[in-house]
Amino acid sequence: MHQELKTSSFTRLNLASLPQRQLLAALLLIVLVFQTTPTIAANTLTAAKPEQTSETPSKTTILPFEAHYSAKWNKVSLRGLAVRKLIINEANQQEFSFNAKTLAAKVQESSHFNWHRCSPVPSAYHYERKGFLKKKKTLQQTFNWDDQQVTSNTSKYSTTFDLPMQSTDKLSYQLAIRCDLKQGNTDLNYQVVDKSRLKQYSFEIVNEEILETPLGTLNAIKVKRVREANQRQTFLWFAKELDYLLVKLEQYDTGGNHYVINIKSLQNSHATAKQ
C-alpha cells in the first residue's frame, strides 16, 4: 500500500504587503530552481518503451510520488504551494508535473516520457505561466525521436531543430539526477532542450548532511549547480531514505536575495523517513 507522510501547516505571511515585483520574483525562483538539470549517462537513446516498475524502487527508475514544498524569500514564508508529482498515465507513460501558485502568479509545467535505463526519453513538454500584470507565457514541445527532431511552439514563434539522442526536457532531467545519484554516479552533466536550443547543465556533489525535516531526520546528499562567470549559487539536497527525492533547495542571487524551498509533505511513496 502507498504510504502517506503528512505534516502540520507552516507559518505564512500575507504576501499582499510585499511589492508585486518581489512576489513574481519569488514564484519564478521556485520555477527556475526546480528547472535547475541532466549529461544523461552516455546511453544510446531510442524511442524506448517504459520499463516496468515494481513495489521496490529499482536503480534505473523512479516510483510515482507527490511532494509538496513550502518556500521562503529572504526569511519570509510565502503563501502558496509548490507541488511535484510523478504518475503513470493511461498511455503507460511517465507523467511528471510541477505546479506552483502564489497570490501573484501561477505556473504549470509537465513532461511526458518513457524510461530507458536511467534516462527519461520525453515525448512532450508543456510550460505555462500566468501572472498579475504579466503576459501569459507558454511553451509546447514535441519530441520526434524517429527523425531526431524537436518542435518548440510559443505564442510568438514555432521552430524545429535537431535533437541529439542524449538529451531531455527542462523538467524530466530532474528525475535523471535522482537516478544518477541512486546509482552512485558523480558525473552529473545533462543536455537539456530549452526553447530553441540545447543547454548543458552541470552539478557537483558537495557532501552529505543530516537534515531535520517535517518528514523526520534525513540523510541527504548536497549538490551544487556549477555555473561559469555567474555569482548566483544554487544548492540542492536529495534524501537517501526517500529514494533520493529533492527535499531542499537554496539559492543566493546576484542581488543578495536568499530563497529556500523545503519539503512539506510526501504522498504515494514507498520510501520512508526516520521519525
Query: What predicted TM-score, i.e. pTM, was given to this entire model?
Result: 0.77
Quote the radius of gyration of the chain (alpha carbons, Å). Answer: 18
Q: Residue 254 CB: number of other CB atoms within 10 A?
A: 9
Alpha carbon distance, N-terminus to C-terminus of the chain = 19
% of the chain beyond a pLDDT of 70: 74
- Which pLDDT band, with edges at 50, 70 and 90, does 242 fall under? very high
- Which pLDDT band, with edges at 50, 70 and 90, does 239 fall under? very high
Mean pLDDT of 11-23: 43
Q: Residue 201 CB: number of other CB atoms within 10 A?
A: 21
Strand ranges (E), the chain:
3-5, 65-73, 76-77, 80-88, 94-102, 105-116, 119-131, 134-144, 149-153, 158-162, 188-193, 198-213, 216-225, 233-239, 245-252, 258-269
Mean pLDDT of 213-221: 96
Mean pLDDT of 244-270: 86
- Which pLDDT band, with edges at 50, 70 and 90, does 27 fall under? low
Whether 196 shows a pLDDT value over 90: the answer reads no
What pLDDT is stored for residue 259 in this prediction?
84
- Specify the higher pLDDT residue, 202 or 104: 202
Q: Phi, psi at residue 23, to the nearest 5°?
A: -60, -45
253: closest CA among 231, 220, 222, 224?
231
Lowest mean pLDDT of 40-54, 99-113, 260-274, name the range.
Answer: 40-54
Q: Residue 107 CB: number of other CB atoms within 10 A?
A: 21
Chain mean pLDDT for the chain: 79
Angle at 115 between CA 70 and CA 117, to 5 degrees: 115
Tens-place pLDDT, residues 50-91: 333 344 556 777 889 999 998 888 777 777 778 999 999 888
Domains defined for the chain, CATH in brackets: 18-269 (2.40.360)
Q: Residue 179 CB: number of other CB atoms within 10 A?
A: 24
58-93 per-residue burial string, b: 16 or more CB within 10 A, e: under 16: eeebbbbbbbbbbbbbeeeebbbebbbbbeeeeeeb
Tens-place pLDDT, residues 112-141: 999 988 889 999 999 999 876 678 899 999
122: closest CA among 113, 130, 134, 131?
113
Q: Phi, psi at residue 32, to the nearest 5°?
A: -65, -35
Q: Residue 186 CB: number of other CB atoms within 10 A?
A: 9
**Cα–Cα distance for residue pair 250/43, rounded to 1 Å:** 31
% of the chain beyond a pLDDT of 90: 47
Q: Please, which residues have CB within 8 angstroms of residue 6's CB and are 6 or more apart in sequence?
A: 265
Residue identified by cell 523545503 is 262
Tens-place pLDDT, residues 181-191: 999 999 999 99
Return the C-alpha cell found at 5.
507522510
